[in-house]
Structure formats: structure tokens, C-alpha cells
Amino acid sequence: MTRGKITYRPARDELAYTFGGRLPVAHVRSGDILEVHTEDCFGGLVRGPGDLPSQVCRMPYLNPVSGPFFVEDAAPGDTLAVHLASVTPARAWGVSSTFPHFGALTSTSRTATLQPPLQERVWVYDIDQEAGLVRFHATDSDHSVDLPLDPMIGTIGVAPGGFEARSTIVADTHGGNLDTPQLRAGTTLYLGVRVHGAMLALGDGHARQGEGEACGVGVEIATVTTLAVEVIKGVPTVWPRLETDREIISIGCARPLEDAYRIAHHDLVAWTSELTGLDTLDAYQLISQAGRAPIGNVCDPDYTVLAAVDKTLLPEPGPAYDGVHGRLRQTVAGPR
Amino acid sequence: MTRGKITYRPARDELAYTFGGRLPVAHVRSGDILEVHTEDCFGGLVRGPGDLPSQVCRMPYLNPVSGPFFVEDAAPGDTLAVHLASVTPARAWGVSSTFPHFGALTSTSRTATLQPPLQERVWVYDIDQEAGLVRFHATDSDHSVDLPLDPMIGTIGVAPGGFEARSTIVADTHGGNLDTPQLRAGTTLYLGVRVHGAMLALGDGHARQGEGEACGVGVEIATVTTLAVEVIKGVPTVWPRLETDREIISIGCARPLEDAYRIAHHDLVAWTSELTGLDTLDAYQLISQAGRAPIGNVCDPDYTVLAAVDKTLLPEPGPAYDGVHGRLRQTVAGPR
Amino acid sequence: MTRGKITYRPARDELAYTFGGRLPVAHVRSGDILEVHTEDCFGGLVRGPGDLPSQVCRMPYLNPVSGPFFVEDAAPGDTLAVHLASVTPARAWGVSSTFPHFGALTSTSRTATLQPPLQERVWVYDIDQEAGLVRFHATDSDHSVDLPLDPMIGTIGVAPGGFEARSTIVADTHGGNLDTPQLRAGTTLYLGVRVHGAMLALGDGHARQGEGEACGVGVEIATVTTLAVEVIKGVPTVWPRLETDREIISIGCARPLEDAYRIAHHDLVAWTSELTGLDTLDAYQLISQAGRAPIGNVCDPDYTVLAAVDKTLLPEPGPAYDGVHGRLRQTVAGPR
Amino acid sequence: MTRGKITYRPARDELAYTFGGRLPVAHVRSGDILEVHTEDCFGGLVRGPGDLPSQVCRMPYLNPVSGPFFVEDAAPGDTLAVHLASVTPARAWGVSSTFPHFGALTSTSRTATLQPPLQERVWVYDIDQEAGLVRFHATDSDHSVDLPLDPMIGTIGVAPGGFEARSTIVADTHGGNLDTPQLRAGTTLYLGVRVHGAMLALGDGHARQGEGEACGVGVEIATVTTLAVEVIKGVPTVWPRLETDREIISIGCARPLEDAYRIAHHDLVAWTSELTGLDTLDAYQLISQAGRAPIGNVCDPDYTVLAAVDKTLLPEPGPAYDGVHGRLRQTVAGPR
């Protein structure tokens, strides 16, 4: 397959704030390699302690994504495989913040209480790509500490179908604001195609984040992200799935958090059953003992939980999606 | 400190089904080493595919614990540190099962639906302690696969105080059915003392379990568990906490699952702040980027989520609980 | 104010399945009276026991609304008041059903379990408008019983703003699938305007429904609905609100259900404070003792709870939204 | 049946703080009439604006109940019917308050956030029994308003069984802190008996409360409550149920709130099916259109939702529990 390489760097007014409801910014084909520049969740407007997000940002201009990309030959009922080849911070710094009535340890517009919001505050992190470190500086004392750099894409998805256009803050069957560290280089994401061309878009990079993204905001960065796509014809995918060299992973997006857990595990049980030939209850049993359940976010409109299992803990599994993960991994490793 | 070693092996009619409301079976002192024999969650009555739990077990005689142990000098307002020195499977097999209307991927007595229950089925696992493996056998096909052996205690706690006696199925501030793989050998558990003597009890060993214990049942085993206890006078602990050589961990128990997440992270933020001197929002920020959030169970009356952080990712932390983890670790490693 | 009367009857292919993302079907002005024909949630395709919804309907062509109507002079930051003058069943029958994995007493795509769905079944009700009755017939026995006819609009809303287009199945700040019996004739609905022209649309009539709409489906009817609209300039409204001659009511839409309760009560406390001059905690206290909390739905993607209080139980309340409820009530009662 | 009348007025040190784990204070028999004096939830210690509950009360000495009463011949597997003949305020005033981190519109120990608690404040209400009014006085302004007096018992239950003793703050299958206005004079409560003698206890009267008890506290009163009991042999009851002249009602207790809704409706569907002969899906359908779903509390450890239906909306229902409601109603109306 001849591969093309497409580079896309959005102008400020090209940034998108929904999945769905937008015209494509470029066309790509199975096997193409796509280099996408993404802005951070604040549109790059929060650069120091004085840039309080609620003052410098304006709703709904938050969490911009680059795209959408029209993937040729992708039609409803297909699956789009997106392999993340690299996620590179575009600047030597990242930012995080508290944000009024947003996050897991504060009341919110949904978990509404009569209490005033927490103080809004900005943290600026140093990113040292060579050392693979991101440096936290306390704001109220002199403490600082290095954390491992672990760049990821927070928001990636396709158009949701059903004539809908969803805010990029949201995660659902179409992907979106999944906010899991698993979306790092080396991972393949599977998304069910809902509209012609799939309409892939991505953004919201994090230099790293904790599980659950407790304060509502990761170490937010602009990125240059390289990915390869392939359309898997005639194979539908309901909820977002991931594959790494080691694991297969299903993602559930819902409130309350146990429903996100249920969705992810229901899907992983079905996937395990399909790959191994185990009957449903045997697969349920095996995942119950062998599964991991990393939490993605507990702050966005839909929380995310992952259900993951090592492929080596499955009895004689067949290749997922006909081996596309391995193929795309080779594609991006090949000579460009 | 002179240490004694106490061995306790309950007769069948000595098993306890509540935390609280029971007289002690033995007295122990700070520095004592305690070897406790524990039965499995079925009281050892499920031994093969024909032993359906709903038929061979009778409510409320499920999830028995061994104890309670009266810890001398433990008083309300103190903390009891319990170091797990070893958790050894007592038999060469373990069992798991589905159970009618119990588990994460079925309706339950609380998440009540009009659907009939899933089929009740028993899985018997082989345990190979030397190889460190536990072997899954499918029931509906010939598949089998080895999983790493990772023995843990599912249920451990003290009396709840407030004149309450709580079923051993429940997890709450007093500990109880925490159901997390972190309760393995090498971990120290901190529990706030609510009644005189603390009244420690434990049971419900698992050869291993997945995160969330999706089907509601781990690989259930009887164990011989060795532990060392120490009373930390005048230091209260609200929610259960853990410490390993690498991490400090807070545990939240609640429904919905996000509240378990909130409790655990609220507690870990406070703990981090206390150990490092970071102010609350700085600690919130750091945990948001550096924290892990393993799910314990999503099947028991109260779900459990852990909030964990590497001590090396905290800036200049002081020792937790005055270094008791290290002390107890040495205690159990010393000559007996 | 000169009033016009506008009648709109959609052709089948004019039905809308989202709020937002659609061009208007008509323009209306403050003071206009609008007669809208609405289809039932099945698009009129379920007419007898053999018409199983999952077979005769096709996603996303469910829950159609009539509209949107562009309301002149309505701009973001305004409030649209919509007074329901009459909701009249358009046929002598209504239908209800179970639907696979939809409803409160079944597992769903979110509360995902491994159990098979409940049996899909259709109930046809007789509607006797003169007697004010709707007749239930059992499907598995000869029983039947009359219930009071209480026609209502299940789904009504404006475009959501933020470039979003939301499925008509959803309820949120823009209104939508609110599914509360309070949306009957005599009620005024207040919706915050998010886009120019507000883009009002409605449908999904019920001859009646129970609180929570347990099985997921009311007694579904096509209606002829008459309403009057007025734009309240410069007054924003965050969550949908209702006013009747007797009560003021706030609506919260969220999962889990307690968040819907919180939103509604948070909003009603603020509204009470504003109308009476009580401080926030006094208003909180009064609503805590005087408030009602009817549940709307416990089946849709966002559950709905209402917070209601009798105006006579408020100390010296001023008129809500400058008395628009009384004005519109008179408008529709006046000579046409 | 010869009836006795038993009067019980607890001394302060006789008040109970758990269901279960206590010896009986008196023995009663089916047909007896019992007059019980109950203290308010603060033990009578909050009497004015300066008596902040967190200062004058001490955990766990909150929400005292009077009892337990040993009901002769009540055995596990039976149902205890308790008819509330009268609930009379014992004083001319009631109190309410906010309480730190307790209530629906504040973060709590479970819905843990980093925000400080709301201000703690006390409201004193005047009770005018003749006029049937309870008078609210604002604390921050001169406003006051009369609300209808509607006395009720907030907490009533039996011992929980399974060797458990549960705090009186909790509601569960054994009853407890149900906090619903339906527990007023004229209502019969059905509770499944879990231990010999049932061990009935009650307290926590409210002069009235709103649905959900938003601030966490009703208009708290001491009461003199008269009730009649009858044991229904061999008929088990899983969740608490109510019967009035007009309705049958099931109560669900759980978090999240939708599970309380599910439990209550699951139980009411089963009860409806049993009384009418409708099959399960027909009963589900009928309740979906005819049911009411009043919320009890959204503040206690377990939230409560009721599922209610008018008996006149059921086709040819048989009498519930063999007509005990009518019998007990006559018992208390008869000559004493």
C-alpha cells in the first residue's frame, strides 16, 4: 500500500469545538500517516499564574480539536483504527488549573451545592523532553518535584451520527474527551464509524495526568501528533476500544461511574469471548480475575473507565480486528 | 520490644459474620505477630462444580472472618497499624462462581430489574504455589490458562463503633470487605480505632482478583495469614489507609462509585498535604497529575476505590504514621 | 399586542430528531399563538401488538419533534416563555411498549449487564376525551382499567448552543426529553435562549405517564398542541423552569438521579431567594420543609427531577419573570 | 381480640441509637395499642438559635428511637404490620438546622469535596396544633410564613437480622430512617421480621418535611405516637411497604437514588401482580402509567424513594396482607 503523509496545522479560527456538525479540513486514506498539530484545552491562552481560565477563556471555546479529517471509504458500520505513532509536546511548558465548579473534589454544575467554588489557580509545569520529565512547582510554597513525562491525547473521536454534534468536552460511543493516559504513542484506538468519512478529530494533549484527572485538568499541552489510520470494512464497533502490544482495552463513558465500569467490562467480556471462543460466562469469569480497570476521568460530563486484559492471560486468542494493530505499528515504523 | 507469636485457628462455630457485636477470641499487643487461619468466603462449602453457592450456603453465613482480636491499649481515637507479613493459600485449589443477582454485570437486589438472574456456575482453580500460578479452566469448553498467583485478604477491619455491628459483606470507615489486591503481603493497613481493643478480624482470602471483582467473586481461598500489629496512640484515622514500600494509599467505600473515588482522593490530598507541607490546593494539583486510582470492588454493598501515589513523586515527604510501616516490616523480617 | 395564530403540521420528512443543527420551519413572534401538530415517539408506526418498536422503527428516527420555530428577537441571554394552552390527543388511541434494554427496571446500554432483554411487548390504550379517560388492557389476561386522561408534552426545547445538536431523546439545560406530567395545559415553561431565534421544537405527547416513566415509554400519542410564546429580554435562565397558577418549579436533568435532584433544588433555592428576598440559607431551609420533588423520568439518557413549591408557601413573593405566566394565560384565554 | 394499651416513655438513658443489638423495653402482642413518647433527632438538645447541633450533640447520640418493643409471636419470615393511629407533637415548637457536610445541597463525608461546609444555623418553628400550622421564621430577615402541619415519624424499623446492629441514621430493608411524609397517622407500615420479637422501635418525628429533606433536617419534634401492631404469620416482606386507605406503596432505600427508585418499583410491580393477577410485564406497564414516585430523603446514608399507586387504578385487586390495614384502622378507631 502506498502511503502518503499529510501534515495539518490549524489556524486559530479553524479549531473545532464539536464532534459532528463540521466540514472536513482534509481527506485521508487507509495507510496514510497524518501529522496533526493540536492546541491545548485552553486554546493556548493560559500561559502563567495570572491567566485564570475563567477570565481568559470564553465558553464554548474550550477544548479545541484539530480536524475533522474525512477518511475515504469509511462508512457507517465500519471501524476506524487509529494508531498513535507519536505524541510530542509542542512547547517546553504545560499548564494546569483549578476551574470554578469543575473537577472531582468540588461541587459542580451537576453535583450542585450551595458552597462557593474552590479558589481558581494556575500551575505552570516545565517539560524536559530529553530527560522525560515534567516538573511540578507548588504555588503556595517552594516545593517542586519531577514527574515522568507521559504524553497523551485527551480528546479524540469521530462524528457521533444521528445528526448530532457533541461538545468536545463530552465522551461517548464516538470517543471524544476520553482522558486516559492509555492514549499514548504505541496505542491503536478503534472507533465505530457513524457517518460517511468518519470525521476524525483530536486535541487536548496532556504531558501526563493522574487516573481520574481529579482536579479536572491534566498537564495541558499543545502537541504534534503522528498517527496512521485504517478502515476496517463491515466490522462495527460500539464503544471505543484500544489495543497495545500487551493489552486489549474497552472504554465505557457514563455517569454514575459504575455504569462506565459496566459498559467497559460488558464490552471486554464480549470481545474476549469473540477472540478466544470462550462462552460469555467463562469470559466473564476470566476477566473478573485477570482484568484491570483503570479510571480515565471523574470530572467530565461523562466519566470514563477502561477494562483491560493482558493478551497473554487469554487462552489462544485470535488477532483483534484481523491484526490491524500490528500492521499499523509497522506502517509507522517503516521508512517515510 | 519483646514480641510474642499467637496462632489462631477458628473452629467452624467460631467464625464471625459481623464486625462489632462479638466478644474477642484472643488478646494481642503491639509488636505481636499473629498467625491467623481464615476460611474462604463460602465457609469452605463450595468445592466443585456441583456445589452451587445459593444451595450449599445459607444467609447470613457468608464471608466469615476470623477474630475479633482485642488489641491491648487500642482506644477510640487511636490508629491500628496492621502489617501483612504473608498471605498463604491453605489449599491447592480456589473457587469462584457467579451468584444470583450479585456482581457488576448483572442486576442485583439494589440495581433491581425484572430480568431473571444469570446462570449460577462454579469455577475451580488449581493453585501452584511454587510456580506462583493459579490455573483457570473454562467450564463450557476445553480452554485453560495460567494467571499469576497474587494472594490477598479481601476482608479485614475493626469494630465500627456507634454501637453498630456490620455484616462482613460491607466495607466502610472501619474497613471490612475492601476487596483490593493491594492487601497482599508487604502492605501495612491503617484503621481508625472505634472501640476499646479495636477488635480486629479478617478473612475472605483471594488467590487473585481482577480490579472491580466484576463477577462478584474472586478466586476464593482459605489462608494462613501472618501479620504484625501496632497501636499508634492519639492519632485518629477516618478512612482505611495502606502503605507499601513504594506508595501511600487511601481507600474510599461508597455508592455511587464516584463517591468512593472522591473519598479516597479527598483523604489522599489531606494526607499528602500533611506529609509534605504542601497547601491543600497544591496537594490536590499534584495528586491530580501523579495519582493512581485502582478500583477495588464494584459488586459489594459499598464499592471501593483506592487513591495511590508513589512516595518518590512527593516533594520531601515525612514518614507516614511516624514510620510504623518500616518498623513492622522489620519486625516480621526479624528472627522469630 | 396584536397576536397572530400560526398552525404547523409537519410532513413526515419534516420531522426533526435533534435540537440544534436544523433550519427553522416557521417564524413566530412574542404574543403569537402557535398550533403545532406533533407525532408520537414512534413516528406513528406502532399501531398494534404486532408492531414491535425495534422492528418497525429505525434508529435514529425515534422521538420526532415538530419545529424548530424561529422566535423573532430571541437572542442568547434571553429567556423564552412558552405557555401550553392545550394539549389534545390527535387520535382515539395511544400506545406503550417495552423496548429492549430501555427503561428503569431493565439493564440498558449504560447499566450494562449480561442478561438478555425483557420481552418486547406493545400495549394499545383507548382514549376517551369526553370522559377524560385512558383505558389500559392487559395483554396476558382479560383485565382492564380506566386511568385519568392527563395529556402532556414529553419533549420540548430550544437549540442547545455551543454549536451542539442533541438527540431529542436527551434532556439538558436546553430542555428536550423532560418527560414530566407537569408539561400539561396551563403550564408556562421557561427556557434560556442559547442561539438566535431560540429554535423551539416539541413533540412526544403522552396521554398520561407515571412518575419516572418506569418502563421507558408513556401512553404515547400524536397531539395538537396550542401554545403562546414571549421573549423575556436580558433575563437568562440556566435550567428549564415551569410555572403554574399554583407553583414555581425548577427542573434538573442528570445522572445519577440525585444530581437531577440537586440541580433542581439548587435552582429553586436561588429562584425562591430572588422572588422573596430571603437569604440563600433561609430559602434552602424553607424549600427543605415546603418543597415537592416529583420525578420526571428514570429511563432517558438524562434523568429528570423537579423541585416545586406552592407560591402561597413563600413569604411575599414577587411575580416570576415579571408576571409573564399570567399574561400568557390571558393571551390564550382571550378572543381569537 | 382483647386489646391492651401500653404506654412507653423512655428515660433519657433508655434511648436507643441502633436497630438491633438492644434488649427490649417492653413486650406487645398483636392487637395491642401502643402509645410511645419519642424524642426529636437532637435528643431535645437544640432549643434555640444558639444551640448549634455540632456543639450540643455528640456522635453517635443522634436520632434516638424509643424501643425496641418485643412483639410476641413475631418470628423471622413473618411480617409486622404497624398502623399509625396518631402522631402528635409533644411541644409547641420544632427545630431544624443545617449541619456541617450533611444534606443534599452540600458536599458530605461521602460526596467529599475540598470546599468548607455551609454555615451551621438553627431555625425554630412555632407549632399551632389547633390551626394545623407550623410557622417558619427567616433568620436573616423578618419574613415568616405558615406551612401546613403534617406530623410524621421519620425513623421506624425492626432489628435487621444477620447479627447486625445498624445506626438509626440508616434506612434499609429493616426500615429505619425512611424520612417520608407518608408515615403519618392513618398509614399502615409493613416490615419483614428478621429476628424473634421483631424488635420494633421508632422516633425522629417531623412536624412536616419537604420531599427529599433537602437540608438534611425536617421540622424536628418530640411526639406522642399511638400505633397498633399485628403479626402476619408466614408472610415475608423484603422491603418496607405502606398502605393507606387510598394507596399501596413500596419503599426502596439505596444509593444512587435511581437504585432506590428501582427497588421501590420492582417491589410495587411484584405486589401489584400478586394482588391483581396481572402478569409481571402487564403490572410493569400499568405502574409505568399509573404510579407515583415520591422521594423520601436525599440526605441520609441511604436515600429513599417510594413507589405508590391508587388502589382504584388497579383492576380488581385483592386485599393486601389479608386486609390488615382495615382491621387495624378499626382497632384504633374503636372504644378504648
Spatial contact of A177 and A168, defined as CB atoms under 8 Å apart? yes
How far, rounded to the nearest angstrom, does the alpha carbon of residue B81 sit from its chain's CA centroid?
13
Q: Which residues of B touch D59 (CB under 8 A)?
A: 162
D211-256: per-residue pLDDT in tens? 999 999 999 999 999 999 999 999 999 999 999 999 999 999 999 9
Distance, CA of C104 to CA of D259 (rounded, Å): 9
Asked if the Cβ–Cβ distance from B286 to A141 is below 8 Å, we say no
Q: Which residues of B touch A250 (CB under 8 A)?
A: none
Cis peptide bond prior to A236, omega within 30° of 0: no
Distance, CA of A190 to CA of A328 (rounded, Å): 12
Distance, CA of A279 to CA of A12 (rounded, Å): 51
**Residue B47 CB neighbour total at 10 angstroms:** 15
Min Cα–Cα distance to chain A from D227, Å: 39
Share the mean pLDDT of chain D.
Answer: 97
Asked if the Cβ–Cβ distance from C112 to B105 is below 8 Å, we say yes
- Which of D98, D101, D107 to mutate: most A Cβ within 10 Å? D107
Q: Which residues of A touch B316 (CB under 8 A)?
A: 143
Strand partners, B140: none
Residue in this structure with the C-alpha cell 439538558, named with its chain if needed: C172
Sorted by sequence, the CB contacts under 8 Å of residue B53 that are 6+ apart come out as: B42, B45, B46, B97, B99, B120, B122
How far, rounded to the nearest angstrom, does the alpha carbon of residue D77 sit from its chain's CA centroid?
22
Spatial contact of C122 and C46, defined as CB atoms under 8 Å apart? yes
CATH code of the region D5-232? 2.60.120.580
Interface of D with B (CB under 8 A): 17-18, 20-21, 59-60, 109-114, 161-167, 252, 254-256, 259, 262-263, 265-267, 269, 280-281, 284
Interface of D with A (CB under 8 A): 105-107, 111-118, 256
D241-333 placed in CATH 3.30.420.10:
no
Residue among A118, A297, A304 at smallest CA distance from A216: A297
Residue A336 has pLDDT above 60, yes or no: no
Distance, CA of C279 to CA of C270 (rounded, Å): 9
Burial of A187 per CB tally in 10 Å (0-12, 13-18, 19+): buried
Min Cα–Cα distance to chain A from B298, Å: 7
**Which amino acid, one-letter code, is at D38?**
T
Distance, CA of D123 to CA of D220 (rounded, Å): 10
- Which of B19, B101, B166, B251 to mutate: most D Cβ within 10 Å? B166
Residue of C113, C164, C255 lying closest to A165 (CB–CB): C164
C-alpha cell at D172: 434499609
Interface A:C, Cβ pairs < 8 A: 92
Residue of B18, B112, B114 lying closest to D164 (CB–CB): B18
Spatial contact of D305 and C294, defined as CB atoms under 8 Å apart? no
Asked if the Cβ–Cβ distance from A105 to D111 is below 8 Å, we say no
Is C238 in a helix, a strand, or coil? coil
Distance, CA of B220 to CA of B241 (rounded, Å): 24
User: 3-class secondary structure for chain D?
Assistant: CCCCEEEECCCHHHCECEECCCCCCEEECCCCEEEEEECCCCCCCCCCCCCCHHHHCCCCCCCCEEEEEEECCCCCCCEEEEEEEEEEECCCEEEEECECCECCCCCCCCCCCCCCCCCCCEEEEEEECCCCEEEEECCCCCCEEEEECCCEEEEEECCCCCCCEEECCCEECCEECCCCCCCCCCCEEEEECCCCCEEEEEEEEECCCCCECCCCCCCEECEEEEEEEEEECCCCCCCCEEECCCEEEEEEEECCHHHHHHHHHHHHHHHHHHHHCCCHHHHHHHHHHHCECCECECCCCCEEEEEEEEHHHCCCCCCHHHHHHHHHHHHHHCCC
Q: Which residues of D touch C218 (CB under 8 A)?
A: 288-289
Distance, CA of A245 to CA of A73 (rounded, Å): 27
pLDDT at A2: 52
Interface of C with A (CB under 8 A): 17-18, 20-21, 59-60, 109-114, 161-167, 252, 254-256, 259, 262-263, 265-267, 269, 280-281, 284
Indicate the class that CATH gives domain B5-92+149-232. mainly beta
Q: Which residues of B touch C215 (CB under 8 A)?
A: none
Interface of A with C (CB under 8 A): 17-18, 20-21, 59-60, 109-114, 161-167, 252, 254-256, 259, 262-263, 265-267, 269, 280-281, 284
Asked if the Cβ–Cβ distance from C110 to A162 is below 8 Å, we say no
CATH architecture of A241-320: Roll (3.10)
With contact defined as 3+ CB pairs under 8 Å, the chains touching A are B, C, D
Asked if the Cβ–Cβ distance from A289 to B98 is below 8 Å, we say no
pLDDT at C4: 84
Q: Which residues of B touch A282 (CB under 8 A)?
A: 138-141, 143
Please, what are the averages of pLDDT over each run of 10 residues along chain B (336 residues)? 83 96 96 97 97 96 98 98 98 98 98 98 98 98 98 98 97 98 98 98 98 98 98 98 98 98 98 98 98 97 98 96 96 74
Is A62 in a helix, a strand, or coil? coil
Sorted by sequence, the CB contacts under 8 Å of residue D306 that are 6+ apart come out as: D180, D182, D242, D249, D250, D251, D252, D264, D292, D293, D294, D295, D296
Interface B:D, Cβ pairs < 8 A: 92
- Do domains A5-232 and A241-320 share one topology? The answer is no
Is A173 in a helix, a strand, or coil? coil
Q: Which residues of B touch A218 (CB under 8 A)?
A: 288-289
Spatial contact of B14 and B41, defined as CB atoms under 8 Å apart? no
**Residue D42 CB neighbour total at 10 angstroms:** 24
- Complex-level ipTM: 0.97
Q: Which residues of C touch A280 (CB under 8 A)?
A: 114
Instruction: Give, in order, the Cα–Cα distances in Å from B260 to each of A265, B304, D255.
Output: 19, 6, 12
Pairing of strands A175-176, A152-157: antiparallel
Q: Which residues of B touch C109 (CB under 8 A)?
A: none
- Which of D108, D109, D111, D114 to mutate: most A Cβ within 10 Å? D114
Spatial contact of D164 and D18, defined as CB atoms under 8 Å apart? no
Asked if the Cβ–Cβ distance from C111 to B115 is below 8 Å, we say no
Distance, CA of A67 to CA of A69 (rounded, Å): 5
Q: Give mean pLDDT, residues A144-158.
A: 98
Q: Which residues of D touch C217 (CB under 8 A)?
A: 288
Residue among A149, D58, D308, D154 at smallest CA distance from C214: D308
C98-117: per-residue pLDDT in tens? 999 999 999 999 999 999 99
Which helix (DSSP H) or strand (DSSP E) does residue B283 occupy?
helix B280-290
Spatial contact of C262 and D104, defined as CB atoms under 8 Å apart? yes
Asked if the Cβ–Cβ distance from C145 to D315 is below 8 Å, we say yes
pLDDT at B184: 98
Interface of B with C (CB under 8 A): 105-107, 111-118, 256
Residue A335 has pLDDT above 80, yes or no: no
Strand partners, A134: A127, A147
Residue of D112, D263, D281 lying closest to B266 (CB–CB): D112
Q: Which residues of D touch A115 (CB under 8 A)?
A: 106-107, 113, 115-118
Residue by residue, pLDDT tens for chain C (336 residues) are: 456 899 999 999 999 999 999 999 999 999 999 999 999 999 999 999 999 999 999 999 999 999 999 999 999 999 999 999 999 999 999 999 999 999 999 999 999 999 999 999 999 999 999 999 999 999 999 999 999 999 999 999 999 999 999 999 999 999 999 999 999 999 999 999 999 999 999 999 999 999 999 999 999 999 999 999 999 999 999 999 999 999 999 999 999 999 999 999 999 999 999 999 999 999 999 999 999 999 999 999 999 999 999 999 999 999 999 999 999 999 898 754
Nearest CA in chain A to B316: A143
Residue in this structure with the C-alpha cell 489495543, named with its chain if needed: A243
Distance, CA of B300 to CA of B297 (rounded, Å): 7
pLDDT at B333: 85
Residue of A113, A161, A256 lying closest to C255 (CB–CB): A256
Q: Which residues of D touch B112 (CB under 8 A)?
A: 252, 259, 262-263, 265-267
Residue D303 has pLDDT above 50, yes or no: yes
**Which amino acid, one-letter code, is at C265?**
H
Nearest CA in chain A to B106: A262
Q: Which residues of A touch C267 (CB under 8 A)?
A: 112
Angle between helices B257-276 and A257-276 (to 10 degrees): 110
Residue among B155, B157, B227 at smallest CA distance from B198: B157
Spatial contact of D294 and D306, defined as CB atoms under 8 Å apart? yes
| D198: alpha, beta or left? (left if phi > 0; alpha if psi -120 to 50) | left
C-alpha cell at A106: 468540588
Spatial contact of C266 and C258, defined as CB atoms under 8 Å apart? no
Is B276 in a helix, a strand, or coil? helix
Domain boundaries, chain C: 5-232, 241-333
Strand partners, A86: A226
pLDDT at A3: 67
Is C168 in a helix, a strand, or coil? coil
Pairing of strands A5-8, A33-38: parallel
Indicate the class that CATH gives domain B246-317. alpha beta
Distance, CA of D226 to CA of B201 (rounded, Å): 43
The widest CA-to-CA distance across chain C, in whole angstroms, is: 60
Is B262 in a helix, a strand, or coil? helix
Residue of D111, D163, D252 lying closest to B21 (CB–CB): D163
Spatial contact of A208 and A147, defined as CB atoms under 8 Å apart? yes
Min Cα–Cα distance to chain C from B241, Å: 28
Min Cα–Cα distance to chain B from A134, Å: 10
pLDDT at D335: 58
Spatial contact of A43 and A149, defined as CB atoms under 8 Å apart? no
Sorted by sequence, the CB contacts under 8 Å of residue B200 that are 6+ apart come out as: B28, B67, B68, B69, B71, B80, B82, B156, B157, B158, B191, B229
Spatial contact of D299 and D102, defined as CB atoms under 8 Å apart? yes
